[in-house]
Structure 1
Amino acid sequence: MQYVDFGRTGLRVSRLGFGGIPVQRIDEPGTRAMLKAAHEAGINYIDTARAYTVSEEWIGQALEELGLRDEFILATKCRALTKAEMEAELAASLKNLRTDHIDLYQFHNPSPENLDKILAPGGAMETLLEAKAKGVVGHIGITAHLSQTFEKALKVDEIETIMFPYNIVEQQGKELIDRCAEKGKAFIDMKPLAGGAIEDGRLALRYVLSNPAVTVSIPGMAAPEELEQNVAGSANTAPLTPEEKAACQKVRDTLGTQFCRRCNYCAPCTVGIQIPSCFLFHGYLERYALAGWAHERYDTLTVKAGACIGCGKCETRCPYNLPIRDMLKKVAQDFGE
């Protein structure tokens, strides 16, 4: 396992981390077994979130029972915007994770406008700065799906890490990833397998980790064979061979006409559909086998995919020429609205 500096935090992190989303579809004994195996493989970074239903709780229980809490850099996140909301969410995370400190606490996918609220007087940043001063939170980070949020976060000194999708087919953040290193911020790669769309996990991780600007990648893992595949893919971080580059291009050719990269260029929708969010939640439904959680997230959308009027304006703005209208019909069909 390769270890690198975690930005300027003073921590050393394994370049392969443990993504905690799929914990929701296993169970407590299975979570314990996965974390034990991850530790034995040399992984020292765990990602979870308040929004991942039982993930925090089961990870906390497993680490306590295994006696491994201090062997991991433990990271979680929440959607709090205000100081009071963050105080409540942080307290819940500490309780669920059965710990008195969290190494990295992140703002979970705020819009650019909500990041302004987080940073304003009375915003959630105040709580994390106070918690950091007390040693309850080690470091502060942010996760994002929009390039605009990523770019804004690069200018915030208090934000020490940034998480963003990056993989063989999602390149919209590549230039911003390079700027992370220049700013001394760690870059955490989410969706290295494009939410499960890329079947060859070894190739996917070879691609991501061959980029030295990627600090740590966090594929979701719920089975021993997934862990083994991910460890194998992270073992070699040398530049890609010509054969591997050709294989990556083949993946792009296969997914390029049907895969949303969440660049958000399709916005604004005429009727207010959050198009990238519809496709994101549909991906969880199709590829993560998390039907309950996918429906829960989809239900938070004010305007559902079925509201599409077929005007096609989104398709004229999509740089990847996606058949967005047909894709929204599929989302509406599978979610039932």
Structure 2
Amino acid sequence: MQYRILGRTGLRVSVIGFGGIPVQRISTEEAKRVILKAEETGVNFLDSARGYSVSEEFIGEALVDRRGKWIIATKSMARDKASMARDIEISLKNFKTDYIDLYQFHNIRTKADLDKVLSEDGAYTALLEAKAAGKIGHIGITSHSVDLLKIAVETGKFETIMYPYNIVENQGEELFRRAMELNIGVIAMKPMAGGAIENGTLALKYILENQCITTAIPGMAEISEVEENARVADNVTPLTADEKQNINKIIDGLGKEFCRRCGYCAPCTQNIDIPSMFVLSGYKERYNLAAWGEERYFSLQNRAKDCIECGVCENRCPYNLPIRTMLKKVRKTFNE
């Protein structure tokens, strides 16, 4: 296993981390076996979130008596001080630990969101107090908006960023270079494009060839996935000509109907969060997290069924995606 330093945190993390979303669909014992297998291969970084239902708890059970071998990262959607302070305590209890190495803001979307968390009674204050108390070690931020993260990295407030990066989604490369200049750790989420990329080995090789990336966090719920991913990290080599050709084929195949969640389609005339429609559809179709995806989808007031096919979103999309057709497929996925 190869390791890189996670920016100015100074943490030495495995180039392949453990993504905590898929453990929701397996049992506690299965999760423990998978996590211990990851530890055997040299993986030492894992990422979860308050919003991943039982993920934190299952990971906590697996790390009993093994806490010192792992660097734990998690995140919260809290935006105010009181809510974040509460979530930190819940995370500590779930992980059965008295400290969390990296606590992140989960999916900051807009400048208004960022301003809120950085305000006097915002969630950032709670993280600073938790850091002073030794409950957390470092502070990070995650987002699906490259423009938002370009602002965030210049504030000096964050030690790490997390953003999608994979064969189809490479719009963050300029951001990653700037983060490296600022000594900010870069965590690549969605390395398999939400399960859309089937060749996991090729997907990870592509990511790790970029020296601006500190670690990639593929979701893992099976021993075979751990073994395949770890093999890539054991020997990070340059992409071959054949592999680059295969990458171009993947881009050609997925690029026509793959949402990069850039947000340029917004605002929808019917107030539909269009990128979220495709993310939640992917959770049900490819992540095998049907119940979780459905719960989150149907909790939204405005959904794919509310599309009036005005086409405004398609005119804004920089990737020329057939969004109206894609939303019809989302409706079929959720049987509405």
Settle same-fold status: TM greater than 0.5.
yes
Query: For residue 94 of structure 1, what is the aligned residue in structure 2?
Result: 92
- Do 1:201 and 1:233's aligned partners in 2 also have CA atoms closer than 8 Å? no
Structure 1 position 267, deviation (Å)? 1.6
More deviation, 230-239/307-316: 230-239
More deviation, 27-36/266-275: 266-275
More deviation, 248-257/237-246: 237-246
Structure 1 position 148, deviation (Å)? 2.4
Query: For residue 128 of structure 2, what is the aligned residue in structure 1?
Result: 129
Query: For residue 289 of structure 2, what is the aligned residue in structure 1?
Result: 290
Take 1:94 and 1:292, find their aligned partners in 2: how far apart are those partners?
Answer: 26
Structure 1 position 57, deviation (Å)? 0.4
Structure 1 residue runs of 5 or longer lacking an equivalent are none
Equivalent positions of 1:261-300 (< 5 A) are 261-300=260-299
Structure 1 position 334, deviation (Å)? 1.9
Query: For residue 304 of structure 2, what is the aligned residue in structure 1?
Result: 305
Structure 1 position 284, deviation (Å)? 0.6
Could you say what secondary structure the match of 1:320 adopts?
A: coil
Could you say what secondary structure the match of 2:8 adopts?
A: coil
Check if 1:201 corresponds to 2:200.
yes
Of 103, 106, 129, the match for 1:105: 103
More deviation, 300-309/179-188: 300-309
Take 1:178 and 1:296, find their aligned partners in 2: how far apart are those partners?
Answer: 37
The number of residue pairs the alignment matches comes to 335
Query: For residue 55 of structure 1, what is the aligned residue in structure 2?
Result: 55
Query: For residue 69 of structure 1, what is the aligned residue in structure 2?
Result: 67
Could you say what secondary structure the match of 1:74 adopts?
A: strand
Take 1:336 and 1:91, find their aligned partners in 2: how far apart are those partners?
Answer: 38
- Do 1:165 and 1:191's aligned partners in 2 also have CA atoms closer than 8 Å? yes
Structure 1 position 307, deviation (Å)? 0.5
Structure 1 position 269, deviation (Å)? 1.2
- Do 2:131 and 2:138's aligned partners in 1 also have CA atoms closer than 8 Å? yes
Check if 1:12 corresponds to 2:39.
no
Query: For residue 33 of structure 2, what is the aligned residue in structure 1?
Result: 33
Structure 2 residue runs of 5 or longer lacking an equivalent are none
More deviation, 232-241/265-274: 232-241
Instruction: Normalising by structure 2, report the TM-score.
Output: 0.97
Could you say what secondary structure the match of 1:36 adopts?
A: helix
Could you say what secondary structure the match of 2:7 adopts?
A: coil
More deviation, 308-317/18-27: 308-317
Take 2:155 and 2:72, find their aligned partners in 1: how far apart are those partners?
Answer: 22
Take 1:18 and 1:313, find their aligned partners in 2: how far apart are those partners?
Answer: 39
Supply the AA of the counterpart residue of 1:29. Answer: E
* Residues 146-202 of structure 1: CA deviation (Å, up to 9, x unaligned): 112211211221210000000000012111011110111000000001011000000
% same residue: 55
Supply the AA of the counterpart residue of 1:52. Answer: Y
Structure 1 position 68, deviation (Å)? 1.2
- Do 2:285 and 2:333's aligned partners in 1 also have CA atoms closer than 8 Å? no
Take 2:232 and 2:250, find their aligned partners in 1: how far apart are those partners?
Answer: 16
Query: For residue 3 of structure 2, what is the aligned residue in structure 1?
Result: 3
Take 2:307 and 2:249, find their aligned partners in 1: how far apart are those partners?
Answer: 32
Superposed CA RMSD? 1.0
Query: For residue 182 of structure 2, what is the aligned residue in structure 1?
Result: 183
Structure 1 position 228, deviation (Å)? 1.2
Supply the AA of the counterpart residue of 1:101. Answer: Y
Query: For residue 43 of structure 1, what is the aligned residue in structure 2?
Result: 43
Take 1:158 and 1:190, find their aligned partners in 2: how far apart are those partners?
Answer: 21
Supply the AA of the counterpart residue of 2:48. Answer: T
